[in-house]
């Protein structure tokens, strides 16, 4: 019996196809990707779409502002104009910035949609469900483990420096001046945490060996929802690339 | 017949090494579950949530054949990140994971010292206190000399590289009258987490030791973090010597904290760097003169460390824990907070630490000690601050 919800495999394949199309197409193709992204958000992600949208805007807007400042306000020409040695205009520069930022926004938004789609799952379950070689799964788990280690190290370093009075929670010049100590302490802490694991816990337990068991897939690779979305994504990708 | 081995001996006598040697004995187990003294050596480090941590270790066959150790409702905490649990809760999670795993042996290196009385009793019972477990156990615990029906391997100290004179710790300190700390109507809760304090009140007087008590996860370390400014209360006031004290805004300039995990407090790679940064943080803001270089060197020697240039992270954990007392005992700040100071410390060290705390009290310093070690607490005349039902009760 096929599953009702989209699976991690279907969602990742769907996102990868659309991201590929986003990178390969022009402004007309981007509208095809955007329409399909919105349809996916409405039908599959629903309430999580707002969060995905907010996160995408937070990530992309600062870059968009920076690019506007550089290309439109300061340079006043698009890179293609400069390469061709033509005079160019702020309009072509604006079009260039809009195209780049829309592309980036769509890529981030698609990734955020997949994250929102599986918000009720856990990283272990999500990665475990993927039909990829075990080495890839292990690498994904290591990457997440490193990210968590750094977040933990930041928290620890922050605690240490506030407790000793070197920095405080409030934004201040003092914090800025001692920022490099925070960075040094974070690195030192992260290295210590990793060494602690490598020296004691992991070799005694062979903890990494447990991942093979924990990451084995327990559900079907694809669901009927996947079989709806994937052909649509294929068609949209072809259409977007053709519309370039 | 399963083995239960207790490894005893003083600090730096090679107990941890003996534990690892035991784990390599072919008849102990091919692979053992390991619970080290702190989180990075107790949890896998591979999971982002509690439910993933449990799933990594869970083996359905083992779960069917062995009782599950379940002292905390981990299902209710399934989405939490393991490192956001308190130190004691992390140890309980590790034991919970072991109880569902396929491992036929477990090795515990002083980790049970972080548990409150009830959870410690539950853990020891699970490990074979009252009945025969179906797995091998190797345990190092400074608060246990012997257990009925357990084998004992005693390690003897053969001259330590970290031999000091802890009785000299407070020798050069001069009287210092700290101001009282008044906590008024304190509210605090973690974002998307539990409420820890709801209208809590307490008055902490200098010259007397305060023992902060409460079950694992009650909020003892949270209170210390609020007092040093790592966390900011949602509402409420803290007064120091009658004046409003907001360390989260203005920075900590009154409280020297020795953290539960010593590695949570270093701000340098060597002791010299750490002390120099602590001094610069207080320059021009300290209530008392900062300790001289000579005083720091003499304290370091008293703790068993001849040089300030040793790399902190290369020292054994018990030694790092001991070094974490240096700054609080230097007299730089009027209030001293010691979070589980006895973890990993042998009886002799604990007694000398109690001596030092008594002396600091007599000199007028303010002391707060978080400890689950009743024997250690009994060595110090103290007031109890119990965290119960989001309040701080004084007795």
Q: Is residue A197 part of a domain?
A: yes
Percent of chain A at pLDDT above 70?
A: 98
pLDDT value at A132 more than 50: yes
Are A120 and A23 members of one domain? yes
In this structure, is residue A95 part of a structural domain? yes
- Alpha-carbon distance B133 to B25, whole Å? 19
Residues of B with Cβ-Cβ distance to A163 under 8 angstroms? 225, 228-230, 252, 257, 259, 265
Looking at the complex, does the CB of residue A94 fall below 8 Å from at least one CB of chain B?
Answer: no
Is the pLDDT assigned to residue A2 strictly greater than 50?
no
Q: Do A125 and A143 fall into the same domain? A: no
Range of the domain at A115: 8-129+218-242
pLDDT at B292: 87
Q: What distance in Å separates the CA atoms of residue B291 and residue B169, rounded to the nearest whole number?
A: 13
Closest CB to B47: pick one of A124, A162, A204.
A124
Confirm if B109 and B16 have CB atoms less than 8 A apart: yes
Q: How far apart are CA A207 and CA B99, in angstroms?
A: 15
Tell me the per-residue pLDDT of A10-52, one tens digit each, with 9 for 90 and over: 999 999 999 999 999 988 899 999 999 999 999 999 889 999 9
* Coil, strand or helix at A154: helix
Any bridge partners for residue B154, and if so which? B8
- Same domain flag for A188 and A234: no
Whether residue B46 and residue A141 make contact (CB cut-off 8 A), yes or no, is: yes
Residue A119: exposure state from Cβ atoms within 10 A (0-12, 13-18, ≥19): exposed
Rounded CA gap, B120 and A237, in Å? 60
In a domain, A3, yes or no: no
Q: Measured between CB atoms, does B229 come within 8 Å of chain A?
A: yes
Task: With respect to residue A84, please indicate whether it lies within any of the assigned structural domains.
Answer: yes
What does the mean pLDDT of chain A come to? Answer: 92
Is A61 in the same domain as A33? Answer: yes
Cα distances from A101 to residues A59, A98, A192, B380, in angstroms, run 11, 5, 39, 65
Strand order in the sheet with B195-204: B195-204, B181-189, B235-240, B243-244
- Which among B41, B247, B277 has CB closest to A166? B277
Domains of chain B: 4-154 (3.40.50.300), 166-394 (3.40.50.300)
Query: Chain B within 8 Å of A16 (Cβ-Cβ)?
Result: no
A144 and A108, same structural domain?
no
Tell me if B91 sits within 8 A of B42, measured CB to CB: yes
Paired tokens of B202: 């307490």
Residue A2 forms part of a structural domain: no
Do A51 and A115 lie in one domain? The reply is yes
Quote the number of domains for chain A.
2
Per CB-CB distance under 8 Å, the chain B contacts of A142 are: 46
Assigned domain for A1 exists: no
| Same-domain check for residues A147 and A160 | yes
Instruction: Please count the helices (runs of H) and the strands (runs of E) in chain B.
Output: 13, 15
Whether A179 has its CB under 8 Å from any CB of chain B: the answer is no
pLDDT tens across the length of chain B (395 residues): 789 999 999 998 999 999 999 999 988 888 999 999 876 789 999 999 999 999 999 998 877 778 889 999 999 889 999 988 989 999 999 999 999 999 999 999 999 999 999 999 999 999 986 666 789 999 999 999 999 889 999 998 776 778 788 888 888 788 888 899 999 999 999 887 789 999 999 999 999 999 999 998 899 999 999 999 999 999 999 999 999 999 998 899 899 999 999 999 999 999 999 999 999 998 877 767 788 888 899 999 999 888 899 899 888 888 999 999 999 999 899 999 999 999 999 999 999 999 999 999 999 999 999 999 999 999 999 999 999 999 999 98
Q: Which residues of A touch B46 (CB under 8 A)?
A: 141-142, 145, 207-208, 211
Q: In chain B, where does DSSP find H-type helix?
A: 15-23, 39-42, 50-57, 60-65, 87-99, 117-124, 220-228, 247-250, 271-282, 293-302, 317-323, 347-362, 374-378
pLDDT tens-place string over residues A104-130: 999 999 999 999 999 989 999 999 999
Note the pLDDT of residue A72.
95
| A-to-B residue pairs, Cβ atoms closer than 8 angstroms | 155
Same domain, A141 and A125: no
Same-domain check for residues A87 and A156: no
Nearest to A144 among B20, B48, B247 (CB): B48
Nearest CA in chain B to A161: B267
Please give the Cα distance from A101 to A72 (Å, whole number): 13
CA pair distance B139, A174, nearest whole angstrom: 46
Identify the pLDDT of residue A4.
Answer: 61
Question: A residues 49-68 near B, CB within 8 Å?
Answer: none
- Are A148 and A98 in the same domain? no
Structure tokens at A181: 């100590």
Is there a domain that residue A87 lies in? yes
Q: Which residue do the tokens 């009994």 mark?
A: B378
Domain annotation covers residue A28: yes
CB interface of B with A, residues 324-353, below 8 Å: 327
Which pLDDT band holds residue A1 (cuts at 50, 70, 90)?
Answer: very low
Tens digit of each residue's pLDDT (9 = 90 or more) over A183-198: 999 999 999 899 889 9
| Nearest-Cα residue of chain B relative to residue A147 | B48
Query: Are A164 and B247 an interchain contact pair (Cβ–Cβ within 8 Å)?
Result: no
Q: How many CB atoms sit inside 10 A of residue B131's CB?
A: 9
At A46-79, the pLDDT tens digits run: 889 999 999 999 999 999 999 999 999 999 999 9
B52 touches chain A (CB under 8 A): yes
Q: Considering CB atoms only, which of B51, B107, B249 is closest to A168?
A: B249
Contacts of A140 in chain B (CB under 8 A): none
**CB contact residues (below 8 A), chain A span 130-169, against chain B:** 141-142, 144-145, 148-149, 152, 155-156, 158-169
Indicate if A61 and A179 belong to the same structural domain: no
Of A148, A195, A214, the CB nearest to B55: A214
Res B66: pLDDT = 80
- Quick check: B243 and A136 in contact, CB under 8 A? no
**DSSP per-residue string spanning A73-126:** III-S-HHHHHHT----HHHHHHHHHHHHHHHHHHHHHHHHHHHHTTTS-HHHH
Residues 186-225 of B with CB under 8 A from A: 225
In terms of Cβ atoms closer than 10 Å to its own Cβ (0-12, 13-18, 19+), residue B168 is middle
ipTM over 0.85: yes
Q: Which residue has the higher pLDDT, B133 or A199?
A: A199
Q: Which of B49, B111, B251 to mutate to test the interface with A (most CBs of A within 10 A)?
A: B251
The reply to whether A121 and A158 lie within a common domain is: no
Q: Does B83 touch chain A (CB under 8 A)?
A: yes
Sequence-separated (6 or more) residues with CB below 8 Å from residue A77: A71, A87, A88, A89, A90, A92, A93
């Amino acid at each position: 019996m096929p599953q009702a919800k989209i699976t991690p495999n279907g969602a990742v394949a769907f996102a990868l196809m659309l991201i590929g199309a986003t990178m390969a197409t022009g402004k007309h193709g981007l509208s095809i990707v955007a329409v399909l992204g919105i349809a996916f958000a409405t039908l599959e992600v629903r309430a999580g779409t707002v969060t995905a949208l907010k996160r995408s805007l937070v990530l992309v807007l600062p870059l968009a502002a920076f690019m506007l400042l550089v290309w439109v306000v300061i340079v006043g020409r698009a890179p293609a104009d400069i390469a061709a040695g033509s005079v160019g205009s702020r309009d072509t520069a604006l079009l260039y910035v809009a195209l780049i930022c829309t592309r980036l926004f769509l890529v981030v938004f698609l990734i955020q949609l997949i994250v929102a789609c599986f918000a009720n799952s856990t990283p272990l379950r999500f990665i475990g469900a993927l039909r990829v070689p075990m080495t890839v799964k292990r690498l994904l788990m290591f990457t997440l483990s490193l990210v968590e280690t750094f977040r933990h190290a930041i928290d620890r370093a922050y605690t240490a420096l506030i407790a000793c009075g070197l920095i405080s929670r409030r934004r201040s010049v003092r914090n800025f001046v001692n920022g490099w100590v925070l960075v040094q302490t974070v690195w030192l802490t992260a290295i210590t945490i990793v060494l602690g694991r490598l020296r004691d816990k992991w070799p005694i337990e062979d903890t990494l060996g447990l991942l093979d068991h924990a990451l084995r897939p327990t559900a079907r690779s694809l669901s009927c929802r996947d079989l709806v979305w994937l052909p649509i994504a294929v068609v949209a990708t072809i259409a977007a690339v053709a519309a370039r | 017949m399963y083995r239960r081995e207790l490894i005893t001996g003083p600090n730096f006598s090679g107990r941890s090494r003996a534990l690892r040697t035991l784990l390599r004995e072919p008849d102990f187990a091919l692979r053992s579950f390991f619970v080290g003294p702190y989180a990075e050596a107790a949890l896998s480090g591979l999971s982002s949530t509690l439910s993933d941590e449990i799933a990594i270790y869970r083996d359905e066959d083992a779960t069917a054949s062995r009782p599950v150790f379940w002292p905390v409702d981990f299902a209710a905490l399934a989405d939490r990140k393991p490192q956001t649990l308190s130190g004691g809760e992390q140890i309980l999670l590790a034991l919970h994971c072991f109880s569902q795993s396929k491992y036929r042996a477990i090795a515990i290196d002083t980790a049970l010292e972080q548990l409150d009385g009830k959870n410690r009793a539950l853990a020891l019972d699970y490990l074979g206190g009252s009945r025969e477990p179906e797995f091998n156990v190797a345990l190092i615990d400074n608060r246990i000399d012997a257990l009925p029906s357990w084998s004992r391997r005693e390690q003897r100290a053969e001259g330590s590289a970290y031999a000091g004179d802890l009785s000299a710790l407070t020798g050069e300190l001069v009287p210092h009258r700290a101001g009282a700390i008044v906590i008024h109507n304190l509210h605090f809760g973690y974002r998307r987490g539990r409420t820890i304090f709801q209208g809590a009140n307490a008055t902490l007087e200098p010259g007397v030791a305060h023992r902060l008590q409460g079950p694992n996860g009650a909020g003892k370390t949270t209170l210390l973090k609020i007092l040093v400014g790592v966390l900011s209360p949602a509402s409420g006031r803290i007064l120091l010597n009658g004046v409003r004290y907001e360390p989260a805004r203005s920075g900590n300039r009154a409280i020297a904290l020795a953290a539960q995990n010593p590695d949570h407090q270093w701000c340098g790679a060597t002791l010299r760097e750490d002390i120099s940064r602590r001094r610069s943080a207080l320059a021009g803001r300290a209530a008392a003169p900062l300790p001289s270089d000579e005083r720091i060197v003499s304290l370091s020697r008293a703790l068993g460390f001849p040089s300030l240039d040793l790399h902190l992270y290369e020292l054994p954990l018990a030694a790092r824990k001991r070094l974490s007392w240096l700054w609080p005992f230097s007299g730089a700040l009027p209030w001293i907070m010691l979070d589980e100071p006895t973890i990993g410390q042998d009886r002799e060290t604990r007694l000398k630490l109690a001596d030092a705390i008594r002396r600091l009290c007599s000199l007028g310093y303010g002391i707060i000690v978080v400890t689950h070690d009743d024997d250690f607490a009994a060595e110090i005349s103290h007031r109890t601050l119990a965290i119960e039902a989001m309040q701080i009760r004084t007795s």
